[in-house]
Amino acid sequence: MLRYIARRVAIAIPMLLVASFAMFSLIALSGDPLAQIKATDPPPPPSSIKSLEHQLGLDKPFLIRYVLWLIGFVHGDFGQSIQNIDISSQLASRLGTSMRLIIGAIVLAAVLAILVGVVSALRQYGSLDNVLSIIVFVALAVPVFWLGALLKNWAVSLNESVGATIFYTVGDGAHSGVTGIAILGFMILPVIALTANIFASWSRYVRASMIEVLDADYMKLARAKGLRKYQAVWRHGLRNALVPFVTIVALDFSSLVGGAVVTETVFQWRGMGDFLLSAIRNLDVNIIMAWLMIFASATILLNLLADIVYGFLDPRISHS
């Protein structure tokens, strides 16, 4: 098993290097990060422009800039911000806010997807399966921003009707000094908005995988030995059905990150989404690169963890 994990890690490191070079190249080719400053009226003196270019490393060749940036990233130095923002401190505070939303959505979506997928497979083509399928397809069709707006309007009406604030519709709570269990009031609506699409997609994968498992020979053998249907599903079926589901969760992390940017905008969270949009508006390339690299690293790490979990769910993989 250790050799299997070592091989997975050895593959992940080159992937991260290739991703970093691709993203750095795309950002470098996207335009002049000082274009907005140069376009001001009156324009800044050439000496100020040259000073900014030197601070940002724009006066160096492309490959040297990439190597210096990569070395700095490994050491936690994300470079100079055009807006004179401390990138490290901002990332530290905002990353925690966004990961609170993303992890909450992953946990909720995974639990709902497994429950709905397994029940639909056990009741295949029955009335309950049809009802759950309708709910799933509606959830797939609803845009995240529209669902978030609906939830906000519903929460405002509910709060007014009861005369108290049950659900918070603006802010993430952490930047308002809220801690502990009270912060759940800020999380519930954004997590639900972010979960709807992804849970619906995952539940279809679980359903399809579980239907295939139920028809497997080892499941028929377990039933022939006297195990009840639900015992056979729990002991033998679910573990095998979750093998492809682990990959789907890891691959869809990037989709969740994109959905989190929209969700944070709707609910006005000061997380990584707001940080990215502000950097794009100001062409702050070092903030954009730091943002992309952090989530690219997280995506590759999750796929690495998925490969390791594969080895535990199906020992044949780690022993092959």
Domains, the chain, ranges and CATH? Answer: 2-319 (1.10.3720.10)
Q: Which amino acid would we find at residue 35?
A: A
Whole-number Å distance between alpha carbons of 271 and 75: 23
Cβ contacts of 241 within 8 Å, gap of 6 or more: 118, 206, 209, 210, 212, 213
Whole-number Å distance between alpha carbons of 61 and 40: 27
Residue 221, token pair as written in the block: 């053998």
| Angle between the N-to-C axes of helices 2-29 and 285-313, in degrees from 0 to 180, rounded to the nearest 10 | 160
CB 105 within 8 Å of CB 256: yes
Is residue 197 packed enough to be buried (19+ CB in 10 Å), middle (13-18) or exposed (0-12)? buried
CB 304 within 8 Å of CB 12: yes
- Can you spell out the DSSP letters for 266-318? HHT--SHHHHHHHHHHTT-HHHHHHHHHHHHHHHHHHHHHHHHHHHHH-HHHH
Question: What are the C-alpha distances in Å from 233 to residues 126, 198, 219, 241?
Answer: 18, 24, 8, 10
The span from the first CA to the last CA of the chain, in angstroms, equals 10
The one-character DSSP state at 125 is T
Per-residue pLDDT of the chain (320 residues; tens, 9 = 90+): 677 778 878 888 898 899 999 999 988 888 778 887 887 778 788 888 888 888 778 888 889 999 999 998 888 888 888 888 888 888 888 888 899 999 999 999 999 999 999 999 988 889 999 999 999 999 999 999 999 999 999 999 999 999 888 888 888 877 666 767 778 888 999 999 999 999 999 999 999 988 888 887 777 777 777 778 777 777 777 878 887 888 888 888 888 898 899 999 999 898 899 899 988 888 888 899 999 999 988 888 888 887 777 767 666 655 55
Whole-number Å distance between alpha carbons of 133 and 117: 10
Task: Give the residue from 66, 28, 69, 35 showing the smallest Cα distance to 49.
Answer: 35
Whole-number Å distance between alpha carbons of 261 and 194: 10
CB 69 within 8 Å of CB 24: yes
Q: What is the pTM of this model?
A: 0.82
